[in-house]
Chains A and B, each alone.
Chain A
Amino acid sequence: MAMQTTPSTRRNVLRAAILFWTAATLVVLVIGFREAIFLVPAEATMGNLQRIFYYHVNHATLGLVFPYINCFASLAYLYWRRRDPLKALAADAWAVASAELSVLYVSIGLVTGILWARPAWGVWWAWDARLTTYLLLWLLYVAYMITRQFSSTGQGHTLAAVLSIFAAIDVPITFMSISWWRTQHPAPVLRGDGKLDQVFWPAVLWNFAGWAMWGALVLVFRYALERRRQRADQQAALEAIEASLELTR
């Protein structure tokens, strides 16, 4: 016999799941921090400074994942916008949520990278292929957000969706740049010949899991916030129509 679920039951289950996920995320982040700062040994060449790596690499990598969520959501938006506007709105909410997460994670990847570069290379920035394509990705998402925010014609969301396709094309180029070209940025350390020593992996993996879980949590929260805004806009539009009908009577 199938059990019937009421909206309030579903809401309670959802609330419990979010609380559990939040608690698990915080625990994993604390373990990750402990591994990165206190437990794994200092690296032979750079010493303690190398510990920046444990926050830099996961944010920089996740900054290449959220653009794909954004691209799929944007493609769904472009597909549904004339066929099914309600589905298009949901896709658009996922698009804006993942775009903001892309800006956040890529910004952190850039900032922590800059703070690594200065003591390691002696310069804050190098115009090599990795850094340049990564900066381009950040600029594309800033353009995406500005297009959405300041377009007054109603075409902003569509134009931004097209921009997200360009961003998605930049992602594999950024990812492969350290293999395709000689760069100031280190060659792959999680794969290939210069692979990181086993002793450092717990710090890498715990922090990767923690910041990925955090990203998923924030993504869902931002999506829910956008859906709230959309419902408010719909309601305001309905009320405006009702008011104008009252006037014509």
Chain B
Amino acid sequence: MTWHTFFAAFSNSYLWYLPTAYFLVWALQGGYLLWMAIQWSRSGKAGIRK
């Protein structure tokens, strides 16, 4: 597979599941990490004692 065929798979009725699955994984993992980073920075601003 190449980058081209990977992205082109989005418009293929049989293959669209493949890039969708990969992007969903990145979105869920990245989204969770981002949520934690936001919580971390907020808790720092709230003046958490160490």
A49 at the interface (CB under 8 A from B): yes
Are A225 and B43 in touch, CB under 8 angstroms?
Answer: yes
Q: Is the CB of B17 within 8 A of A119?
A: yes
**Contacting residues of chain B (1-16) with chain A, CB-CB under 8 angstroms:** 1-2, 5-6, 9, 14-15
Taking a contact as CB atoms under 8 Å apart, the answer to whether B1 and A235 are in contact is no
Q: Is A214 in contact with chain B by the CB < 8 A criterion?
A: yes
Decide if A48 is an interface residue (CB 8 Å cutoff). Answer: yes
Q: Is there an interface contact between B18 and A49, defined as CB atoms closer than 8 Å? A: yes
Binds B, one of A74-82, A109-117, A181-189: A109-117
Q: Does A134 contact B (CB under 8 A)?
A: no
Within the complex, the shortest CB–CB distance from B20 to chain A, in Å, comes to 6
Asked if A56 contacts B21 (CB within 8 A), the reply is yes
A231 touches B50 (CB 8 A): yes
A48 pairs with B9, CB closer than 8 A: yes
- In the complex, A38→B5 CA distance in Å? 10
A to B CB contacts below 8 Å, 28 in the list: A33-B22, A37-B1, A37-B6, A37-B22, A38-B1, A38-B2, A42-B1, A48-B15, A49-B14, A52-B18, A55-B21, A55-B25, A104-B32, A108-B28, A108-B29, A111-B24, A112-B24, A112-B25, A115-B20, A118-B17, A218-B32, A221-B36, A222-B36, A224-B40, A225-B36, A228-B40, A231-B48, A235-B49
Besides the contacts A52-B21, A218-B29, what 13 more A-B pairs have beta carbons closer than 8 Å?
A: A38-B1, A49-B18, A108-B28, A111-B21, A111-B28, A112-B25, A115-B24, A118-B17, A218-B33, A225-B36, A231-B50, A232-B43, A235-B49
Binding site for B on A (CB under 8 A): 33, 37-38, 42, 47-49, 51-52, 55-56, 59, 100, 104, 107-108, 111-112, 115-116, 118-119, 214, 218, 221-222, 224-225, 228-229, 231-232, 235
Q: Which 3 A-B pairs have the closest CB atoms?
A: A115-B17, A115-B21, A232-B48
